[in-house]
Amino acid sequence: MPTISNKQLKGNFAENLVAEWLSRACLVRPVAVGTDIGIDLYCESLVDNNPHLHFWVQVKAISKRDITIKDGVEFASYRFKRSHLEYWARQPIPVYAFLVPVLDWPPKYPERVYGVPITRHIVENGIPVSKTLKLETSECTEFATIDNDWNKFISQIVPADTAILLFSKGIVSKIDFVGSNQQHFPRGIPLKYGEKILDGVRDSVIILGSETLESKTDENKGFRHICEAVTSLFISDIHDLGVNFLVESAQKDGDVPRALRYLDLIKNEILKRTDIDESKKSGYISKLEVLRQKIANL
């Protein structure tokens, strides 16, 4: 029979304690034994007993040396592997690490559990070059105020981090604060992902506009024109789907000169580019010329 180390026992105690505490405000599903690759708990927050937002949890047992006091404030820290941070960065929902003080063995029930907003840190700071990264936090859930603390976590922190995560994927989304009729968006982060967000805007209007082309009655003509106008702002960085949409939208209006003008503008932008070699430029321009001839011969 294998021997179980104290480290394993401490980890088991910490994971079960966090699951117990979170169960006061969430549906908690432990990861199946033998399949833990960086996530311990799958959680779904509850608002008025209704399932709301999902998040994932990694639990770490910490010792006395991981707790420090600075200017009267208690901090807890843990050194995370870069490989784990890379894994968490790829996840579709926020990930949190909960640090549980297990100071003695057998353990005493801790007064507080510390929370590290892993996803928020990654979105704000990126993945470190070093193999490990020490993260420090004073954010915690006190057992004496556990229900108020969880309410703040569920109603404010998880919704904000859910919206923050989407910036890294090129999506701008409002924060889903329960019961709020006002629009709230995370601030201080979007510019870092400006190019990716604009790429998302470009691709969104191209896809939406392309959908309108399939209508024989053209009942979405006004909307198509809006998509075309926005797409035209991205001519300096447009892909084949965008080229086709601009040309086909002009053709749907019977405006061949407009379609040809788009091709000329795109060709001029390709000639200006310094990020691609002459061979690629020639290839792109050849495709435009084929399209030009096709339109001109209609």
Tokens standing for 283? Answer: 């290839």
Instruction: Compute the distance between CA of residue 17 and CA of residue 164 in angstroms, rounded to an integer.
Output: 28
Report d(CA 98, CA 40) in Å as an integer.
Answer: 10
Angle between helices 256-272 and 278-296 (to 10 degrees): 170
Q: What is the dihedral of CA 85, 87, 91, 95, to 10 degrees?
A: -40
- Nearest CA to 57 out of 40, 32, 69, 80 is that of 40
**pLDDT score recorded for residue 227:** 97
CB 247 within 8 A of CB 254: no
**Edge to edge, what strands does the sheet with 140-142 contain?**
26-30, 41-47, 50-62, 95-101, 112-116, 140-142
CA-to-CA distance for 183 and 174, rounded, in angstroms?
Answer: 6
Q: What is the pLDDT of residue 215?
A: 81
| Whole-number pLDDT of residue 102 | 95
* pLDDT of amino acid 225: 97
Average pLDDT over residues 22-50: 88
Look at residue 8 in the predicted model and tell me its pLDDT: 87
Percent of the chain scoring above 90 in pLDDT: 77
pLDDT per residue as tens digits for the range 186-220: 888 999 999 999 999 999 999 999 999 988 888 99
Confidence of residue 35 (pLDDT cuts 50, 70, 90): low
pLDDT at 36 (0 to 100): 60
- Rounded to two decimals, the pTM is 0.87
Asked if pLDDT for residue 78 goes beyond 80, the answer is: yes
Domain map (residue ranges) of the chain: 6-185, 191-296
> Per-residue pLDDT tens for 225-279?
999 999 999 999 999 999 999 999 999 999 999 999 999 999 999 999 888 889 9
Using the CB atoms, write b or e for 220-251: b if 16+ within 10 Å.
beeebeebbebbbebbeebeeebbebbbbbbe
Q: How many CB atoms lie within 10 A of CB 212?
A: 21
Average pLDDT of the residues in 44-60: 94
Percent of the chain with pLDDT over 70: 98
Separation in Å, CA 144 to CA 7, 217, 265: 27, 65, 66
**Burial (0-12, 13-18, 19+ Cβ within 10 Å), 89:** middle
Structure confidence at residue 259 (pLDDT): 94
Environment class of residue 158 by beta-carbon count within 10 Å: exposed (0-12), middle (13-18) or buried (19+)?
buried
Q: What is the mean pLDDT of the chain?
A: 92
pLDDT of residue 298: 63
Alpha helices, DSSP H, located in the chain: 6-22, 82-89, 118-125, 146-152, 158-167, 194-212, 221-232, 240-252, 256-272, 278-296
Q: By three-state DSSP, how is residue 46 classified?
A: strand
Q: How confident is the model at residue 183 (pLDDT cuts 50, 70, 90)?
A: confident
